[in-house]
Amino acid sequence: MDEAFPDNWTYLRTELNWLDRLLASAIARQRKDTKEIERVSKARIDQITSHWWKGLIQVDGAIASDSPAEMPRRHTSSMVNYQQRLEVRVQASQQRGIVLGLPALCQRLNLSTFEKNLLLFALAPEISRRYGRIYNFLQDTDHPGASGLPTIDLILRLLCRNDDEWRSARLSLTSQAKLLQHEIVVLPQLATESFLSHPVKLAATIAEYLLADSPQIITLDTLLQLPTQPDRLAVASSMVLPAACTLAPVTLSNSLQSPLSTIEQLPPPAEDLWPKLVLPKKLVLTLQHFCDRLRYANAGNEQWPWPHDQAELKAGTIALLVGEAGTGKTLVARAIAQALDVSLAVVDLARINLSQSNQVLQQITENAPTILLLKAASYWFGRSAPVESFQLRQFLHQRQYSQTITLLSTDPTHPIKPSWYNYLISLNVPFPTQADRLTLWQQAFPPEVPLAADLDWQKLTQFRLSGGQIQAIARAAIVLAIASAAKASQQAAEKPNSGVVKPLGMSHILQAYQFKY
């Protein structure tokens, strides 16, 4: 069990296997207790007070001892050994640059093992409804209206071995605890319920992060509103760069400043972006047809007018782009906007306040952008969307009957509800193949950047990276090359010449890859 986890989902499956064993043991104990109690109880009050008389009366009728019933002993050593072996695998994954969502979250906030397991309890119903049914059974809430969420009482009962652990664990859910301060878990508070009866729900944004195929640390820092930890790349990027290799400044999206300033307007770029789309030819032709459909809509109606009963045609296009992070979904939207010479309106639904989703939707409707990209579409069009379906249907209907293009993007692991497919065209943006990655690597560096002869393009293609990840590594490698040249001239006691850059070599790319991933 000491090998590294190849990806985040393999890690989650391992943790869920442990949770399955824990729940199976709890179910067995509860069934045994229920069977014993039902044999001797004559009324409902006997069942409720069973914890008082259970140690005084034996179900077979024999006289029992008056000492309290002995609590079943758990295999503490085996649980500790499991956590230790799991930690070894997590560390091995981190050494290989593999980010695991839940361990990364625990390390960022220095969470305890109990807090980590609590998050796993809350995450499980987001993966399978089977866990919700198990929680309802263990909580005696197995009825159609039950939430399927674990209560604080259930989590404490299953994860705490003694009173000391119970008291310490309960403090992890107070108002001053990290899990609540950073809005990682949500405790719906009802005046009629005790604290132990509160269900524990994972925040939607955190659940999306923990279930991602390739979770990123910078995404986690944004969700937790933590400053990104400085590294050597930040130091290198502060140095003077040659004009030909100057990197575009990074600006924060408006959505991080105000929950209602969510529409980011990207002007059409001067360069042609279509050659940069390393995608299947059929997909590119479909995207170009979207542009033609909008560009020539009026001309077609004037030259070949439709019959009166067909005058109100659906001039708008709504498409769903399904692909992993960095596969080019945003680049597709920018290429479409560039082809039509209009600005691209981008709304990242993962970064807005879910409680203000209706206001954000109204703002988008009022602005009526020609080209609109809704990132993380599952936040609104998934199974637990905060916006009413009627309002979303009105919005999509309006976009269908206007000369606009609406693009929804989502990760394959975060699907939208099947009912929305009646309004849109679903397009798969595939992860780049090894041949695609060769093209992406070769076009990642501007022509002005001198490249060393030791670049092994074929070796680089063996890394399973998306186009966005390749671009990020290329930018970091350029900074490293410039920084190493500047440091070399300083060590030689020469005046640094920012216009001279040594060739960018394989070592710079591998070092950038290690920093980034």
pLDDT above 70 for 157: yes
Lowest mean pLDDT among 181-190, 288-297, 425-434: 181-190
pLDDT band, very low/low/confident/very high, at 422 (cuts 50, 70, 90): confident
Count other C-beta atoms under 10 Å from residue 292's C-beta.
12
Averaged pLDDT of the chain:
78
pLDDT band, very low/low/confident/very high, at 259 (cuts 50, 70, 90): very low
Mean pLDDT of 336-356: 88
Q: What is the pLDDT of residue 243?
A: 38
pTM: 0.51
Q: pLDDT tens across 432-486, in order? A: 999 999 999 999 998 888 999 989 999 999 988 999 999 999 999 999 888 888 7
Q: pLDDT tens across 284-302, in order? A: 999 999 999 888 876 655 5
User: Which of 423, 414, 376, 415 lies closest to 395 in space, CA to CA?
Assistant: 423
Mean pLDDT of 105-116: 87
* DSSP-assigned states of every residue in 391-447: HHHHHHHHHHTSS-EEEEEE-TTSPPPGGGGGS-EEEE-PPP-HHHHHHHHHTSS-T
pLDDT above 60 for 415: yes
pLDDT above 90 for 515: no
Q: What is the pLDDT of residue 62?
A: 44
Q: What is the pLDDT of residue 108?
A: 84
- Which one is predicted more confidently, 259 or 468? 468
DSSP lists the bridge partners of residue 317 as 405
Instruction: Please state, in angstroms and rounded to a whole number, the distance separating the CA atoms of residues 400 and 390.
Output: 15
Q: What is the pLDDT of residue 331?
A: 94
pLDDT exceeding 70 applies to what percent of the chain? 75
Q: What is the pLDDT of residue 498?
A: 47
Lowest mean pLDDT among 51-55, 157-161, 360-364: 51-55
For the chain, which domains are there? Answer: 8-210 (no CATH), 260-428 (3.40.50.300), 434-516 (1.10.8.60)
Q: What is the pLDDT of residue 2?
A: 59
* DSSP-assigned states of every residue in 449-500: S-B-TT--HHHHHTS---HHHHHHHHHHHHHHHHHHHHHHHHHTT----TT-
Instruction: Please state, in angstroms and rounded to a whole number, the distance separating the CA atoms of residues 273 and 147.
Output: 47
Element (H, E) at 321: strand 317-322
Q: pLDDT tens across 239-248, in order? A: 333 333 433 3
pLDDT above 60 for 250: no
Count other C-beta atoms under 10 Å from residue 76's C-beta.
9
Q: pLDDT tens across 355-413, in order? A: 788 888 989 999 899 999 999 998 899 876 777 788 898 999 999 889 999 999 998 87
Provide the token pair at 131.
């866990």
pLDDT above 60 for 499: no
pLDDT above 80 for 152: yes
